Structure 1
Amino acid sequence: MIQPSPVALRAVELSTDWAELARQVLAGYQLTEEDALGMLQAPDDQLLEIMAAAYKVRHRHWGNTVQLYFLMNAKSGLCPEDCSYCSQSKVSEAEIPKYNLLSREKLMAGAKMAAERKSGTYCIVISARGPSEREIRAVETIVPEIKQQYGLNVCACLGLLTPEQAQRLAAAGVDKVNHNLNTSREYYPEVCTTHTYQDRVDTLNAVRSAGLKLCSGGIIGMGEKDVDVVRMAFELRELGVESIPLNFLNAIDGTPLEKNARLNPRYCLKALAMFRLVNPASELRIAGGRELHLGSLQALGLYAANSVFVGDYLTTSGQAPSADYKMIEEMGFVVTKTEDGGSCG
């Protein structure tokens, strides 16, 4: 763990009344970087107070509802990018399935499974720098069919997009596009060199201009500093992102980051709480790595987050859906398919 800087220590000293900080956020206060670093670097004996503060903000905007997402790896491997965290990148030696875009039948079977698992959103993901014309046309064709047959929201994750491609996705009925920032602008060159952080921001701006909702988050545990985690949260706030998936690095064998140390669950919970207070009204999703890094504390993450993936991730396995349903029920939460929030005052 990076040692707190003098500024961060000062933030901890000034912000130990987490309940009061939550009250101020609900009254319209926007966290500063100092506040956010203080939360991320707070002593573990303040963890429950931090989670209680996060829950106050979460409950105001989302009540006790939990949204479920189902992820379909529609094209695996074969990616020309060098993202060091990804098992599908050109620099990865991980043993994963590699295939081109799935058939219509397999994509529809995935949508059926999403509906059966109580998911409100079906995520279609391809590994690529950006979509080919064939891939864009396939998405344009199948999205109306998915929505008509299963009533699912559709989130497309197709890599870098041009404004014209984003407009075509919107016209086809795609509800939102996922394109993660992954880390801070300053740290991004450490994890990818084949495209830039600004390329990702440009894609998000194109998606917004097309009238689509933004789904963008990141990965914690890639060797970044605490300030990088905070700056990513603030960039997402500046972009007005509606949906934030927060991943915790699953250091897959065969990737450049395979030896990265495992995160501890208390730090992960503080990160979720910090993202909640920085982005109070955004949907916050505990994404990849939650089973590995949160372990027996997974349920506590729902005090900050209001969304999870149900089932597997891109190339790694998730826990059984029945375990997710049980966790949600035991926390006193309920599954919802709406994305309009559950404001309670």
Structure 2
Amino acid sequence: MNRATVKSLAGLACAMLTLGVAAPAAAAAVDRPRLGDVQKALSQLAKNKEIVGAIGAVYVDGRKAGKGSAGTRLLNGKGGRIPAGARFRVGSQTKLMTQVVIMKLVTEGKLSLDDKLSDLLPVVVEKDLVERADEITVEQMIHHTSGIPNWYTPQLVDAFDFDTYYPPLELVKKSRTVERTQEPGEKFSYSNTNYMLLGLIIEDLTRHSVSREFERRIFDPLHMDDTYLPTKWPGGIKGPHGHGYHPDKNGKLHDVDRLNMSYGYAAGGVISTTDDLGDFHRAFARDKILTKREKEALNAGRPAPEPPPGDKPADPRVCGEYGLVKGGSSGFSALTYNSPDGRVQFVLSATLGTANTNPAIDPLVKKAAEAVLCPET
């Protein structure tokens, strides 16, 4: 079923949501935040050897206030510039979309945040895929406190395997080979396995693919027409876009644009644009895609972040104000910065010439965000 057909079937529910996220009238000039030059910030970012290319845009009240593209589509200055409106992988920003669908199913009475994994997906017990599944709740999976080990590690999957399709349950099975290190609900421990399982729960309850539920509940109502979750192998990014690179064990960089789509799914598979991602995060921040009550229920069990080592914990915000939602994997990093009131979003996609785990990346991207969101006076 194509996107137009899905839109026609969505009916009144989608129309109501669309009305709720229409951009308000432009604020008076005195109320507009002072912003820096996006193109200049990205040009500085792309001068670093860790960055192959970068695109980004900043939005105020739903209107684009600046955009830019720097670096090149391919390594070593090749391929020309990335189109500013190009699609890119959003990585784990997908998880927030999965949370939206789960909470809508909770509101509809199809499940509870206290429901046990073993009751919702009996197959994980029957095939011994998840240890202690009868104790793990939906809420714990959402907040990464289930203790289910992460299958997405270099020890369990190959970043350069572009040709093998792994069904979600097969990836869940890989996590079973890793010893648990905590009790269910004890503490935060990031694991993509949680979101593979949440995706399977969505499909079991709705009898639709995760992609279809994203379209029906998020992409179509918000007019995110350039956004999709690949469903047909091998997937991939449509249209001209930046390629990311990842080093092998000898440090040689390889093009990983063909990133294995089965590694994404409900944990990190969505492909989008700066415009669409800005619309999504603005709608979420303004309680237009989840109600305030739904968000309160979603966040009630969220654990407090553990402070980093050192005497003075680092402020996780940018410019002391803007929150960050981040996604990344081999070859790319995708970041969305949001003001607390939802008025301002800065969406940035960087394709990499280094491992995405390289600690040098975060301060470089943060510097670019600060140049846009809180320029020096």
TM-score of the superposed pair, with normalisation by structure 2: 0.29
Q: Which has the higher helix share?
A: 1
Higher Cα Rg: structure 1 or 2?
2
